[in-house]
Amino acid sequence: AQTVTQSQPEMSVQEAETVTLSCTYDTSESDYYLFWYKQPPSRQMILVIRQEAYKQQNATENRFSVNFQKAAKSFSLKISDSQLGDAAMYFCAYRSASGGTSYGKLTFGQGTILTVHP
């Protein structure tokens, strides 16, 4: 079974600075997807970024980028020019790319609470 580990329960950053959230995962599969979700105080789960394991290029979405290290099974999220609205809990998630019994289920990490200081 796959596991996802976020070793940082809490992180903080100053507004306009850069912060990196860590995520490691364990899998025996070669084809999969990785995601970062953001959950602000409203508790709505918002997809931040997605990475396909077969792609060597790291995904980027505006101020959000990932550092995907497949051999190390590491998938960190970098937030540049942090804004007050980035304050949220961030979840890393894994999904198998194979069909069969995975049914699109996600395996989530425990979450990292990000505080942004003005």
Partner 1 sequence: SQTIHQWPATLVQPVGSPLSLECTVEGTSNPNLYWYRQAAGRGLQLLFYSVGIGQISSEVPQNLSASRPQDRQFILSSKKLLLSDSGFYLCAWSAVEQFFGPGTRLTVL
Among 12, 105, 115, 117, binds partner 1 (CB under 8 A): 105
- Count of CB atoms within 10 A of residue 11's CB? 16
Task: List, as one string, the DSSP characters of 26-68.
Answer: E-S-SSEEEEEEEE-TT---EEEEEEETT--SPPEETTEEEEE
Q: Is 31 or 81 the residue whose CB approaches partner 1 more closely?
A: 31
Applying CB under 8 A, does 110 fall inside the site for partner 1?
Answer: yes
Q: Residue 14 is which amino acid?
A: Q
Interface map 36-55 toward partner 1 (x if CB under 8 A) = ------xxxxxx--x-----
Among 28, 56, 57, 103, binds partner 1 (CB under 8 A): 103
